Structure 1
Amino acid sequence: MTTTLLLIIAYLLGSIPSGLWIGKVFFHKNLQDYGSGNIGTTNTFRILGTKAGIVVFILDCLKGTLATILPSLLGIHTISPALFGLIAVLGHTFSIFNHFKGGKAVATAAGLFLGYSPWFVVILGILFLLTFYLTSMVSFSSIVCAATAAILILVLPFFHIIFVSYDWLFTITILFIASFIIIRHRENIVRIRNKTENIFNFGLNLTHQKHNI
């Protein structure tokens, strides 16, 4: 019963549409009517500005972290905490508070990884920043990090690096989330190939995409 209740709480935590609510309350804008129509971090940066984007990223990330560590805080160790983080990620993407629509899961997935293994997040965070600087694209950086996470979770435990052994539920969770993130970015992939992807006014834009911010 306790586990079921925590899974419900994890889903509700993930379902909190931070960008949507902040946009409506503080800026009187519905993010779904602007830019990409997404309520996640990237569109928040574009439409509401840097400060709002940072706040939304932190809040969306914390949803995944809190959901992941909540079972441990309550002394539940019979199920991998990755499951609770995964439920939060699904809540973020299919929010009950937003007609089962939501973001692309990147920030909340990062929160899950942070709650499970901070060093894993450090590696992916460095990779994200480097890729973002080289390409100026959040979408491409997210795709690269998702694919890399899938590879690393299969390789690192084998060599006992960061992870002392395989947590197969966490491994399956990573593989699922990585695939999910890449699929959610399929339209971005098409634009990247056509060199029409929106970029931030930051970095080298090595692939010469269309400017947006």
Structure 2
Amino acid sequence: MSVALFIITTIAAYLLGSIPSSVWYGIGYFGIDVRKHGSGNAGATNTFRVLGKRAGTIVMLIDVMKGWTATCLASMLFYMGTIAEGDILMYKIIFGIIAIVGHIFPVFVGFKGGKGIATLLGMVLAIHPELAALSIAIFILTLIASQYVSLSSILATLAFPVMSLLGVFGQPETLLVIFGFVMFVLVVITHQKNIVRLLNGNESRVNIFAKSKSKGQS
């Protein structure tokens, strides 16, 4: 693959990740900037807190699609004949990570975005749907039991490389295992404040069964 094509595809992955779905949706539909409410984070979790389940779900799905689409750029390059089949996983990881960076540091809203969990989910869905599905199950079960999104995100992210290493769905792939543990470390780093609040017992809870807020409420 030419350097120019790689650069163009990398920029495309970053711009996809940079789409500030929570900010644009919140302002466009509710007239509310989620960055000025709740935790101040421009992500799906804060959208759930500030705007309710429907808005949070829409934003989360968009963020998942950002990661999935950016990661699948590698498959597009393969079908174009510009990369070898053996290199698909490597490029999927590269483009997926770039999309997550775009979500965390979005060019469209002053480089202050979310924590990238939903975008990471989209990425792993494109890389390994089966492992991603198990991670989602762990996330949901942990969230129902604890009502802590941060704890659920951390445990679900850890589950991905652990299950990959254990060969739950076949022979472990070294690159996939390394990627998973690196992502876990990055998630821990981006959730440092949440971890401190969890340890102190004052982390915010999200009741997924609570009644959604109506349009225009904060």
Please indicate the TM-score interval, normalised by the length of the shorter structure.
0.7 to 0.9
- TM-score normalised by length of structure 2: 0.85
The whole-number CA distance in structure 1 between the counterparts of 2:109 and 2:161 is 29
| Alignment-mate amino acid for residue 169 of structure 2 | I
2:133 pairs with one of 111, 117, 122 = 122
User: How far is the alpha carbon of 1:163 from its aligned partner?
Assistant: 4.8
| Alignment-mate amino acid for residue 2 of structure 1 | L
Which has the bigger relative contact order, CA under 8 A and spacing at least 6?
A: 2
Contact 2:16 2:66 in 1 (8 A): yes
Contact 2:21 2:59 in 1 (8 A): yes
* Structure 1 residue runs of 4 or more that deviate by more than 4 Å after TM superposition: none
Q: Render the CA deviation track for 1:7-55: whole Å, top value 9, x for unaligned.
A: 1100110011100111111111111110000011110011111111011
The secondary structure found in structure 1 opposite 2:163 is helix
The whole-number CA distance in structure 2 between the counterparts of 1:35 and 1:23 is 13
Q: What 5-or-longer segments of structure 2 have no aligned partner?
A: 210-218
State the partner residue of 1:16: 19
State the partner residue of 1:62: 65
Q: Describe how 1:136-175 pairs up with structure 2 within 5 A.
A: 136-156=147-167, 161-168=168-175, 170-175=176-181
The secondary structure found in structure 2 opposite 1:29 is coil
User: How far is the alpha carbon of 1:167 from its aligned partner?
Assistant: 4.8
Q: What 5-or-longer segments of structure 1 have no aligned partner?
A: 204-213
State the partner residue of 1:106: 117
Q: Root-mean-square deviation (CA), in Å?
A: 1.6
**Number of equivalenced pairs:** 198
State the partner residue of 2:10: 7
Q: Render the CA deviation track for 1:158-190: whole Å, top value 9, x for unaligned.
A: xxx42545151x333322221111111111111
- Is residue 183 from structure 1 mapped to residue 178 from structure 2 by the alignment? no
State the partner residue of 1:210: none
1:34 pairs with one of 33, 37, 60 = 37
The secondary structure found in structure 2 opposite 1:201 is coil
State the partner residue of 2:215: none
The whole-number CA distance in structure 2 between the counterparts of 1:174 and 1:65 is 16
- TM-score normalised by length of structure 1: 0.87
Q: Render the CA deviation track for 1:128-182: whole Å, top value 9, x for unaligned.
A: 11111111111110111122223233332xxxx42545151x3333222211111
